Amino acid sequence: MLQRQTQVAAYWTTFQVTRADLEYLFSLFLEDETPLTIRDLAMRLIRHRVSQEEERLRKLVARGKLFQPQAAYEIGQELIFPVLDFSIGKVVGQRPGQNPDYGDFTVIEVEFENKQRREFASMLQKPHALSLDVAGGQKLGELPSIDADAIFEQYGESIIEELEARLVDEPDVIYFAGKWFLKSLLPEINVGHLHLAEAILDINGGGPLPTATLLNDIELPKEIPQTLKEFALGVAMSNDERFEDVGPAGQVHWYLRRLEPPEVLKIPPRLVYQPLDYDRSLLSDELLALERELDDEFSDLQPPATQPTEATLTLIYPHRRVGTLPLSSRVQGLFPTALESRRIRITFIDGQTGAEFAGWVVREGLYVFGLDEFYRRHKLPVGAYVTVRATDDPSKLIVDFEAHRPRTEYIRLAVPADNRLTFANFKRSIGAGYDELLILGAEDLEGVDAVWASARDRRRGLVEIMRDLIPELAKLNPQNAVHAKTLYSAVNVVRRCPPGPIFAALVARPEFQHVGGPYWRLSS
């Protein structure tokens, strides 16, 4: 059977990119003037290797006949041996064959180009595995076709890995927004072009604008392909600190960094968690279930195997105060990702009114910013259920809540006093669904902020904060105890902390008394 190197698995599993391969890819950039993704480059390289081998075999076949065990040959005749990687040899001797199982046949001696000699049976009367019209049903002289797509399907990832490793070491190769090109072939983008891009973005409120829109007002030579213009301007802007790509994966959207919200450029202190060591084995099944229910972004929880099209979470004080949503395990998959961008500009749609407003995904800080006005407009309390729903556009998401006619209810209100938090039950009008164990209000925001700042500046420990809060919360309960979820909600008014360390401290510390179920009190 005619089998080429590129049909053998070992050829691709040990694949290495050569200098000749790189020169071929660079020639593509020169000829097509088009930046390409790594998958495009790998696919083209596979096709090139297959084409190279086909051309080599055609030239070899043109030099002589393909060896066939049933044929007769003369001394001096050149033969091609497919089984030996299409090596070429010259018949230098003949003798009668001696094997009664095969009858009369001739043994030819063949000298190959490397001067090695081997013997082969010829003029066989019986079918042989090396006969091209027997093995695989192929006819003499046929070359089998190779499916480059199938090769990529099976070996593409390892080829991509090898190719990327070679490209990043090439000084003239540049990568931007998922595509590769040559620096030396980029059209010039000068300072004037970048100043004009800044002015365009400034007029448009900072952005976001795609590169193609900016090019409507930035003149580059007409003979340059549009894709190359966009790539060159994008590369130049990515190297200028004034600009930031805030588009989701697959899209380049530019924004002026100086006009991005401060809460996006730097993680708000309220949302910063200083990791605490704790013994996770102390958590009972009940406490672990509560941790999963709360779904704090700093809890080590696995996202769902299949991301649903919507997810619901409950607001805690830090996010309500800053106007953010956590990128917790349940919701993180709903929000778009990016290849390199640290921040992604998205659009929220108010599920109650249909109004659109800007949002920012900050994966580094595990939050989404831009919901303060939404929370205020709908008067959502801490503990409210907030639902995020996907749309057909990954950069647009619906944010909603369980709305109902406002009714007066008793809720916990955080009251600052002497650099500590106290709590009292007050009547308030609530028009949204909420978790009654997490809900709390705060009207003296400056006073609450002062308590938080004092705890941070004095570096008050978690246990010390819990000792202050538990009696205050327990006095609002007829059983003089506090639910673990309620304590979690209150602790996060004073210090950002996921439930794990809080729950572990409840179990481990002798001053905290377990009174059954998820309820605790401070020991006398």
Question: Which residue did the predictor score with more confidence, 408 or 139?
Answer: 408
Cβ atoms within 10 A of the Cβ of 70, count? 17
Max distance between CA atoms of the chain, in angstroms, equals 112
Is residue 132 over pLDDT 70?
no
Contact 231, 179 (CB under 8 A): yes
- Does residue 139 lie within any of the structural domains? no
Question: Is residue 159 assigned to a domain?
Answer: yes
Q: Which residues of 232-249 are buried (b: 16+ CB within 10 A; e: fewer)?
A: bbbbbbeeeeebbbbbbe
Q: Would residue 323 count as lying in a domain?
A: yes
Q: What are the beta bridge partners of residue 274?
A: none
- What is the per-residue pLDDT across 8-62, written as a single tens digit (0 to 9) for each? 777 788 889 999 999 999 999 999 999 999 999 999 999 998 888 877 777 766 6
36 with 21, same domain?
Answer: yes
DSSP state of 396: E
Of all residues in the chain, the percent with pLDDT exceeding 70 is: 94
Between 340 and 462, the more confident residue is 462
Q: What is the pLDDT of residue 337?
A: 87
- CA–CA gap between residue 58 and residue 333 (Å, rounded): 52
Question: Which residues, listed in sequence order, are joined to residue 349 by a DSSP beta bridge?
Answer: 356, 398
Percentage of residues in the chain with pLDDT exceeding 90?
A: 69
Mean pLDDT of 219-224: 92
Structural domain contains residue 167 = yes
Pairing of strands 78-81, 87-96: antiparallel
pLDDT of res. 241:
94
Q: Please give the Cα distance from 334 to 397 (Å, whole number).
A: 8
Residues 6+ apart with CB under 8 A from 334: 307, 309, 310, 311, 388, 389, 390, 397
Residue-number span of the structural domain to which 210 is assigned: 186-257
Tens digit of each residue's pLDDT (9 = 90 or more) over 370-394: 999 999 999 999 999 999 999 999 8
Mean pLDDT value across the chain: 90
87 and 235 share one domain: no
User: The domain spanning residue 397 has which CATH number?
Assistant: 2.40.330.10
Number of domains in the chain: 5
Phi, psi of 337 (to 5 degrees): -110, 175
Label residue 408 exposed, middle or buried (CB < 10 Å: 0-12, 13-18, 19+). exposed
pLDDT value, residue 390: 95
Pair 427, 343 in one domain = no
Q: Are residues 283 and 386 in the same domain?
A: yes
pLDDT in tens, 395-418: 999 999 999 998 988 889 999 988
- Per-residue pLDDT, 137: 36
In this structure, are 53 and 164 located in the same domain? Answer: yes
For residue 170, give both structure tokens.
């090439």
Q: Structure tokens of 317? A: 């004080």
pLDDT of residue 130 exceeding 70, the answer is: no
Q: What per-residue confidence (pLDDT) applies to 314?
A: 96
Mean pLDDT for the stretch of residues 91-95:
91
Residue 220 belongs to a domain with what CATH number?
A: 1.10.10
Residues 28 and 176 grouped into a single domain: yes
Regarding whether 308 and 385 lie in a shared domain, the answer is yes
Model confidence at 140: pLDDT above 60: no
The answer as to whether 138 is a domain residue is: no
Assigned domain for 313 exists: yes
Listed residues 347, 371, 404: the one ending a domain: 404
The pLDDT confidence band at residue 1, using thresholds 50, 70 and 90, is: very low
pLDDT, residue 145, reads 65
Inter-CA distances, 332 with 115, 151, 305, 402, Å: 66, 35, 12, 21
Q: Which residues contact 401 (CB under 8 A, 6 or more apart)?
A: 351, 352, 378, 380, 384, 385, 386, 387, 432, 433
Specify the pLDDT at position 305: 86
> Is residue 3 over pLDDT 60?
no
Q: Do residue 330 and residue 220 come from a single domain?
A: no
**In this structure, is residue 109 part of a structural domain?**
yes
Average pLDDT over every residue of 123-146: 56
38 with 152, same domain: the answer is yes
- 228 contacts 187 by C-beta, under 8 angstroms: yes
Of the candidates 386, 404, 422, which is a domain's last residue? 404
Q: Are residues 121 and 91 in the same domain?
A: yes
User: Model confidence at 144, in pLDDT bands (50, 70, 90)?
Assistant: low
Same domain? For 413 and 501 the reply is yes
Q: Where are the alpha helices (DSSP H) in 208-316?
A: 211-215, 226-238, 262-265, 285-294
What's the predicted TM-score (pTM) here?
0.78
In a shared domain, residues 400 and 411: no
Kindly state whether residue 262 falls inside one of the protein's structural domains.
Answer: no
Q: Which of 377, 404, 431 is the last residue of a domain?
A: 404
pLDDT for position 94: 92
Q: What is the pLDDT of residue 154?
A: 86
Whether 271 has a pLDDT exceeding 90, the answer reads yes
CATH of the domain at 73: 2.30.30
**What is the pLDDT confidence band of residue 136, given thresholds at 50, 70 and 90?**
very low
pLDDT for the residue numbered 249: 83
H-type helices in 344-397, by residue range?
372-378
- State the virtual CA torsion across 375, 381, 384, 386 in degrees, nearest 10: 10
What is the DSSP-derived secondary structure letter of residue 149? H
Burial class (CB in 10 A: 0-12, 13-18, 19+), 122: buried
